[in-house]
Amino acid sequence: MGDLQVVADQNEWIDVPLIVLNTHLFTKIISNDKFKSVEQRVQVGGVGARASLPGFLYPSRTAKYKPEKAIKGLLADKLTKYREIQFAEFMDDYKSKGSDGKPALPHFKA
């Protein structure tokens, strides 16, 4: 059976448990790079069946987010790496770049 894999720090694919929460790029922005964003894939094996169930939760498109407003305590001694953005701006930028595996983050740097 195929297993879910993510890219680890050494740019190597590693197996991960069947239940994974991938917060992706937006959480990387609001956490000021405290939380990582990783690529993921599912390998297809030759034995057994596999079911994958993606789920998506989106914040309000008009809400504004900035690292120190979103998660208190992460920036006590750090500079803000990202400017304030609306979720709609983030999604529009991300969708315009396609899913080529390259982060859509430089546009949002502070």
pLDDT tens readout for residues 37-88: 777 777 776 667 767 777 777 778 888 887 765 566 666 667 788 888 888 8
Q: How far is CA 56 from CA 21, 30, 61, in A?
A: 10, 17, 14
HSE-up (13 A, CA, CB side) for residue 42: 14
Strand order in the sheet with 4-7: 13-15, 4-7, 40-42
Percent share of the chain, pLDDT over 70: 67
User: What pLDDT is stored for residue 74 in this prediction?
Assistant: 62
pTM of the model: 0.58
- Please provide the average confidence, as pLDDT, over all residues in the chain: 74
Alpha helices per DSSP H over 31-108? 67-70, 87-97
